[in-house]
């Protein structure tokens, strides 16, 4: 939990270093900071409907009840046709595009808030792989009741409200995980590799989470094994058993996906993107990218990828959004 929440008055959206997308951190009240917040798009604030690509250090569940436009998660553009339920995982890149009259509720929380129900992390990761759910009447009614209970409990702040919030959130996550996929994913949607049950599955799931966080220092089997607390050999076998793919294959996929994010959502040069994903030689990066995707970085940026149309019109001119002038 440390490092994921900030005190009021500090900037909740920043670029930690050159070559990264803006990072939105969870702002919570002090001194009794609890890494959880819920409200409407209006009460949470303008960052809840940000129209520029950015990442989070926390989980976000969005219940959309009204509005037009689209929500872009990583490289997939999901058209608004409310009601929807959306789960955005830490590290995913997202923004709202041409959103008008956006209405609904936003639930924000860190991994630390899930301490009573640690299994919810796996359910949330699964929901993050299919982040956009179109709700039927029964699903919308159930989500509406749960979100209203969460908001009421949060607003009252009565004795023991933190444990009640964790219980209600657990019910919301479990019920959301049962919801069927209601439509084919749009072009650009890339589900993460799934991991099986058991210890090997848990180790593999943690490996996938680490390499998906866009931290170049963790794009190595040895570094991830050290972070998880297992040997590199065990990590390799666990990942192969749980996912059917080698750690090296998954690392290459993670580096490729991060390169796609940066090419699609920033104005960084190909050389800069290459450096950000760990390639000192841009020419080698271009060969790597073509081998992994079938197209050159330049062609991908122009929207000509092998899997369908990618929407690139929302690249940001600078990585860190400028602060408003006084």
Higher-pLDDT residue of 321 and 164 is: 164
* pLDDT of amino acid 2: 34
CB 224 within 8 A of CB 275: no
Residue with tokens 């917040």: 37
* pLDDT of amino acid 169: 97
Neighbours of 196 (CB within 10 A): 14
* pLDDT of amino acid 185: 57
* pLDDT of amino acid 102: 94
Asked if residue 15 has pLDDT above 50, the reply is: no
Q: Strand, coil or helix: what is 265? A: helix
- Every domain of the chain and the residues it spans: 5-178, 198-309
Asked if residue 198 has pLDDT above 70, the reply is: no
Give the architecture (CATH level 2) of 5-178: Sandwich (2.60)
Q: What are phi and psi of 299, to 5 degrees?
A: -65, -40
Strand partners, 100: 68
* pLDDT of amino acid 173: 96
Which helix (H) or strand (E) segment holds residue 89: the answer is: none
Q: Mean pLDDT over residues 126-136, rounded? A: 88
* pLDDT of amino acid 180: 84
Report residue 203's pLDDT band, with 50, 70 and 90 as the boundaries. Answer: confident
* pLDDT of amino acid 84: 95
Q: What percent of the chain has pLDDT over 90?
A: 31
Higher-pLDDT residue of 105 and 52 is: 105
Both tokens assigned to 195: 């991991």
Axis crossing angle, helix 247-265 with helix 282-293, rounded to the nearest 10: 110
For the stretch 138-158, pLDDT in tens is 999 999 999 999 999 999 889
Strand partners, 88: 60
* pLDDT of amino acid 60: 95
The mean of the pLDDT values for the chain is 80
Strands 84-88 and 23-24: unpaired
* pLDDT of amino acid 287: 92
Q: Mean pLDDT over residues 107-129, rounded? A: 88
Distance CA 102, CA 108 (A): 17
Contacts of 307 (CB under 8 A, 6+ apart): 187, 188
CB 76 within 8 A of CB 128: no
Whether the CA torsion 254, 256, 261, 262 is positive or negative: it is positive
* pLDDT of amino acid 304: 36
Q: 133-137, 178-182, 218-222, 273-277 — which is least confidently predicted?
A: 178-182
Asked if residue 172 has pLDDT above 90, the reply is: yes
The correct CATH number of 198-309 out of 3.40.33.10, 1.10.3720.10, 1.20.1440.130, 1.10.10.60 is 1.10.10.60
Asked if residue 9 has pLDDT above 80, the reply is: no
CB 55 within 8 A of CB 91: yes
* pLDDT of amino acid 215: 79
* pLDDT of amino acid 47: 85
Same topology, domains 5-178 and 198-309? Answer is no
Both tokens assigned to 170: 């657990």
Q: 62-66, 78-82, 147-151, 258-262 — which is least confidently predicted?
A: 258-262
Averaging pLDDT over each range in 31-45, 113-127, 186-200, 206-220, which range is the top one?
113-127
* pLDDT of amino acid 139: 94
């Amino acid at each position: 939990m440390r490092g994921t929440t900030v005190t009021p008055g500090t900037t909740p959206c920043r670029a930690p270093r050159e070559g990264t997308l803006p990072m939105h951190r969870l702002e919570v009240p002090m001194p009794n900071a609890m890494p959880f917040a819920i409200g409407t798009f209006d009460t949470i604030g303008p960052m809840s409907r940000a129209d520029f690509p950015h990442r989070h250090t926390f989980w976000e569940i969005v219940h959309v009840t009204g509005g037009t436009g689209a929500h872009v998660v990583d490289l997939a553009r999901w058209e608004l046709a409310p009601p929807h339920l959306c789960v955005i995982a830490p590290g995913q890149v997202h923004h709202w595009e041409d959103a008008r009259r956006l209405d609904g509720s936003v639930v924000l929380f860190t991994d630390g808030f899930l301490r009573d129900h640690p299994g919810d992390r796996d359910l949330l990761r699964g929901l993050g792989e299919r982040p956009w759910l179109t709700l039927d009447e029964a699903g919308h009614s159930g989500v509406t009741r749960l979100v209203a209970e969460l908001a009421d409990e949060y607003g009252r702040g009565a004795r023991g409200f933190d444990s009640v919030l964790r219980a209600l959130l657990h019910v919301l996550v479990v019920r959301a995980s049962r919801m069927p996929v209601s439509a084919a994913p749009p072009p650009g949607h890339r589900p993460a590799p799934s991991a099986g049950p058991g210890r090997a599955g848990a180790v593999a799931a943690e490996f996938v989470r680490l390499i998906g966080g866009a931290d170049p220092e963790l794009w190595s089997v040895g570094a991830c094994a050290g972070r998880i607390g297992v040997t590199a050999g065990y990590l390799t076998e666990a990942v192969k058993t749980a996912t059917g793919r080698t750690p090296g294959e998954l690392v290459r996929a993670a580096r490729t996906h991060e390169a796609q994010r940066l090419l699609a959502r920033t104005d960084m040069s190909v050389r800069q993107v290459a450096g950000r994903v760990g390639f000192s030689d841009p020419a080698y990066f271009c060969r790597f990218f073509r081998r992994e995707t079938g197209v050159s970085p330049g062609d991908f940026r122009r929207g000509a990828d092998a899997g369908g149309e990618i929407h690139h019109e929302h690249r940001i001119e600078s990585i860190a959004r400028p602060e408003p002038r006084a």
